Amino acid sequence: MLHLRLITPTDRTDDVVRLIEKTIGTAHLVVLPGAARNPAGDVVMCDVAREAGDELIAGLRELDLDTTGSIAVENIDLSLSKRADKAEKDAPGESADAVLWEHLTDATHEESTLSITYVAFITLATMLAACGVVLDNAILIVGAMAVGPEFGPLAGLSTALVQRRPRLAARSLIALLVGFAAAMAVTVGFSYFMDAVGLFTEEKLEADRPNTGFVYAPDWFSFVVAALAGIAGTLSLTSAKSGALVGVAISVTTIPAAANAAVALSYGDMGQTWGSTVQLLLNLLGIALAATLTLLAQKWLWSTQRKSSRAS
């Protein structure tokens, strides 16, 4: 269940209440006339089944409540109420399958913004992966994958494409390109420093690396794994099962590929640089394409389910 706290202009309160009352899957409606001060108006609260939440929020936005008042949404961890149970039963579909598009857009907006923190994380992850590829240390590679924040802008790009929001798409794409460019540039300098102090050597980079050699050897498996990770990551975001994102983060080789390209470039090994770059691009393309198709499929399935439930 979701809890909605609304601030409504006095002349819109009746319309908001009617919308809530006619939405299947709502319960616990509370109206507090004149309780709001900034902005001034009434306070309306209700609970709604997650699978009915997106439709209700869309209706509230059509009433311009997001500009004239306020819409706040919270997850309810525990609700002991027969009315809540009935609301969930009456709402069409399953809560785990429901997509809250406004929540998804808001979440990906934050994760896809080019910020100092984002650049710091992607740079640190790439430098950590550089140590992993030179030492052929799989543990460092996995750690770097988990630290990397690149799935945020990839999810933002996919969401923007599905919802046709060019600004969000441009912001996500800038975060990806600038983030990786900055991380790889810093990692090249880091490689020069590590070589100067004797911790990195060209011999280590060129030696057989059974644990990390895959990062500069792209093949169709790279694309398939990236596509599967993109599907899993998108489902984890839309179903609020964020723990699955950890598994997604350590299943694709975007950060290690970028790190290997940077280290190889510092030694002038263009073969490994090109192979790692292709690996990076294949992974980014696979994730973005799979995530976009997953969101389109969810959007179509959910709209179909709504239509069938209304017809019945």
pLDDT attached to residue 12: 93
181 token code pair: 């460019």
Residue 183: closest CA among 171, 193, 191: 191
Structure-token match 């929540």, residue found:
103
Residue 234: closest CA among 156, 128, 126: 156
214 token code pair: 């895959």
C-alpha 117: how far from its chain's center?
Answer: 16
305 token code pair: 């389910």
pLDDT attached to residue 308: 61
Burial of 167 per CB tally in 10 Å (0-12, 13-18, 19+): exposed
pLDDT attached to residue 50: 84
- Interval 164-217: pLDDT, tens: 889 889 999 999 999 999 999 999 999 999 999 999 999 999 999 998 988 998
pLDDT attached to residue 292: 93
Structural domains in the chain, CATH included, are 2-98 (3.30.70), 103-301 (1.20.1080.10)
pLDDT digit string (tens) for the chain, length 312 residues? 899 999 999 999 999 999 999 998 899 999 999 999 999 999 999 999 888 888 899 899 999 999 999 999 998 888 889 998 898 888 776 665 566 777 777 777 777 888 999 999 999 999 999 999 999 998 999 889 888 888 889 988 998 898 888 988 999 999 999 999 999 999 999 999 999 999 999 999 999 999 898 899 888 888 998 898 888 888 877 775 555 455 556 567 799 999 999 999 999 999 999 999 999 999 999 999 999 999 898 888 777 766 665 555
Q: Where are the alpha helices (DSSP H) in the chain?
A: 13-22, 50-62, 65-68, 82-90, 101-111, 116-135, 138-147, 151-163, 166-196, 202-206, 220-238, 244-249, 254-266, 270-311
